[in-house]
């Protein structure tokens, strides 16, 4: 009976309507890929839309910056389209909206014309106001400075630096500079600002201030999606995205290193300032750093365009991951603590993705940010330009091990059956 209904539905759509369906599928895939979705989600959404409307001959090949879509057989019209997708910033609200639309297509059998209208509305969704983004960058920088051990004065300096950094990102980097030059310039700008603020008394430890302030530049989206693509067997796209993330890390470190090398007098006492900072008792420090991690995660969720109703979940995930890392760091190696924390972040991300019926990317990208080794990258660059090569090698190797631990933690949980997370409000087809 179900097969009969499907055959009837297929016969109801003309060749022109099927071509419109393919156009809609391409548009949906483009929105997803452009705004931070994984490769498998793009392919799955395109296939789901085409199959629902009876286009059985659809073949989609998706790369990190392009979609190839073909269809056609003796019973279906021929169709071929290639679309280049420029790399741009993430808008996870658009990803969630397309994901929700694909569900509604199956549940309500929407006409193709309605699909085109809804997709156009998603493309035209307004961004957060500029001031909100600037404040989110500032709050995130201040919170992560606190998370890594900075004092209240350091956090105030990082707050101001993060605010000014994002003005640079929005007004100069994004519209006018290449990724390499922009990230080198961003790392250099953060370092100069933190040096100057320390000199005028708005900051005690330049190191903590820089570590917190460079976090808005950390490539969380290409790093996370690269890991997920590789876990799903998309080795080409995953490798490209991971290479992109590594390039950004290197450029940030180069910018920091260039300024420290060029202005050595401004960095005097920076290494010892961290040691002079008075730390609260261990339990209080853990609680404060956990709250700071949660706050920083929420700030980054806003920057990534996560829908506002998911902010509490994102904050909970980021805070829980950092809390577990803090508790395990003294008992295990840093890499092992990072691995278990990444496992927890991925478990919670998949749970909330299934519960809220939205892509796991919405929660994972912001939730994993506290574990990304931004501090390790800074210390490797700092030790290298100050001729402490042994320490630089140790810091760099520790950062590599932390990245490997995050990758392994994500991959392990990604492979678990979807049914294990199907509790709460309901379950999704694929988180």
How many of the other CB atoms lie within 10 Å of CB of 183? Answer: 25
User: Is residue 81 classed as helix, strand or coil in its secondary structure?
Assistant: strand
The reported pLDDT for the residue numbered 12 is 53
pLDDT at 71: 87
- Residue 405 is encoded by which pair of tokens? 């631990």
Q: What is the pLDDT of residue 265?
A: 53
Q: Give the span between the Cα atoms of 2 and 14, in whole angstroms.
A: 21
Give residue limits of the domains in the chain: 2-123, 130-421
CA atoms within 13 A on the CB side of 148: 31
pLDDT of residue 97: 93
**Are 322 and 371 spatial neighbours (Cβ–Cβ below 8 Å)?**
yes
SS3 label, residue 79: strand
Tokens coding 165:
């950094």
The count of residues in the chain is: 431
Q: What is the rounded CA–CA span in Å between residue 170 and residue 135?
A: 13
C-alpha Rg value of the chain to the nearest Å: 23
Among residues 106, 159, 103, which one has the least CA distance to residue 299? 159
Distance, CA of 284 to CA of 334 (rounded, Å): 21
DSSP code at position 360: T
Going through 64-166 in order, the beta strands assigned E by DSSP cover 66-71, 79-84
Element holding 60 (H helix, E strand): strand 59-63
Residue 268 backbone dihedrals phi, psi, to 5 degrees: -60, 130
Q: What is the pLDDT along the chain (431 residues), one digit of tens a residue?
A: 344 444 444 445 677 878 888 999 999 999 999 998 888 889 999 999 988 888 888 888 888 888 999 888 767 778 888 888 877 678 899 999 999 998 888 888 788 889 999 999 999 998 889 999 999 999 999 999 999 888 899 999 999 999 999 999 999 998 888 889 999 999 999 999 998 998 888 888 888 999 999 999 988 888 888 888 887 778 888 888 888 888 888 899 889 888 888 766 555 544 444 444 444 557 788 899 999 999 999 999 999 999 999 999 999 999 999 999 999 988 888 899 999 999 999 999 999 998 888 889 899 999 999 998 878 878 887 788 777 888 888 888 888 888 889 989 988 888 788 777 776 544 444 55
Chain Cα centroid distance, residue 93: 13
pLDDT at 296: 95
Distance between CA atoms of residues 54 and 59, nearest Å: 13
Full 3-state SS string of 232-281: CCCHHHHHHHHHHHHHHHHHHHHHHHHHHHHCHHHHCCHHHHHHHCCCCC
419-431: b or e for each residue (b if 16 or more CB lie within 10 Å)?
eebeeeeeebeeb
Coil, strand, or helix at residue 389? Answer: helix
What letter does residue 84 receive in the DSSP assignment?
E
Look at residue 431 in the predicted model and tell me its pLDDT.
Answer: 55
CA–centroid distance for 136 within its chain:
15
Mean pLDDT of the residues in the chain: 84
């Amino acid at each position: 009976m179900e097969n009969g209904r499907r055959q009837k539905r297929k016969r109801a759509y003309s060749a022109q309507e099927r071509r419109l369906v393919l156009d809609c599928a391409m548009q949906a895939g483009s929105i997803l890929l452009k705004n931070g979705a994984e490769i498998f989600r793009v392919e799955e959404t395109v296939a789901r839309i085409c199959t629902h409307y009876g286009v059985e001959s659809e073949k989609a090949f998706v790369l990190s910056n392009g979609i190839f879509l073909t269809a056609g057989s003796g019973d279906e019209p021929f169709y071929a389209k290639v679309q280049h997708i420029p790399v741009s910033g993430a808008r996870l609200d658009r990803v969630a909206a397309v994901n929700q639309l694909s569900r509604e297509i199956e549940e309500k059998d929407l006409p193709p014309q309605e699909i085109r209208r809804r997709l156009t509305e998603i493309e035209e969704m307004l961004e957060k106001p500029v001031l909100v983004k600037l404040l989110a960058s500032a709050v995130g920088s201040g919170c992560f400075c606190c998370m890594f051990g900075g004092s209240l004065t350091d956090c105030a300096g990082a707050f101001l630096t993060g605010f000014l950094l994002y003005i640079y990102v929005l007004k100069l980097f994004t519209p006018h500079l290449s990724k390499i030059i922009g990230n080198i310039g961003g790392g250099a700008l953060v370092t100069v600002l933190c040096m100057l603020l320390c000199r005028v008394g708005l900051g005690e430890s330049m190191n903590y201030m820089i570590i917190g302030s460079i976090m808005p530049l950390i490539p969380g989206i290409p790093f996370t999606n690269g890991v997920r693509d590789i876990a799903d067997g998309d080795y080409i796209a995953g490798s490209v995205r991971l290479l992109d993330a590594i390039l950004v890390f290197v450029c940030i470190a180069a910018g920091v290193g260039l300024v420290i090398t060029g202005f050595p007098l401004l960095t005097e006492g920076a290494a010892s300032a961290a040691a002079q900072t008075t730390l609260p008792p261990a339990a209080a420090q853990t609680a404060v750093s956990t709250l700071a991690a949660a706050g920083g995660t929420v700030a980054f969720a806003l920057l990534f365009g996560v829908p506002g109703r998911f902010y509490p979940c994102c904050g909970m995930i980021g805070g829980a991951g950092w809390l577990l890392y803090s508790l395990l760091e003294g008992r295990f190696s840093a890499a092992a603590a990072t691995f278990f924390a990444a496992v927890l972040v991925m478990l919670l991300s998949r749970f909330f993705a299934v519960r809220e019926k939205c892509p796991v990317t919405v929660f994972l990208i912001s939730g994993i940010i506290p574990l990304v080794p931004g501090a390790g990258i800074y210390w490797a660059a700092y030790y290298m330009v100050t001729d402490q090569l042994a320490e630089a090698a140790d810091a760099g190797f520790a950062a590599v091990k932390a990245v490997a631990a995050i990758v392994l933690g994500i991959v392990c949980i990604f492979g678990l059956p979807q049914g294990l997370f199907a509790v709460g409000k309901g379950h999704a087809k694929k988180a």
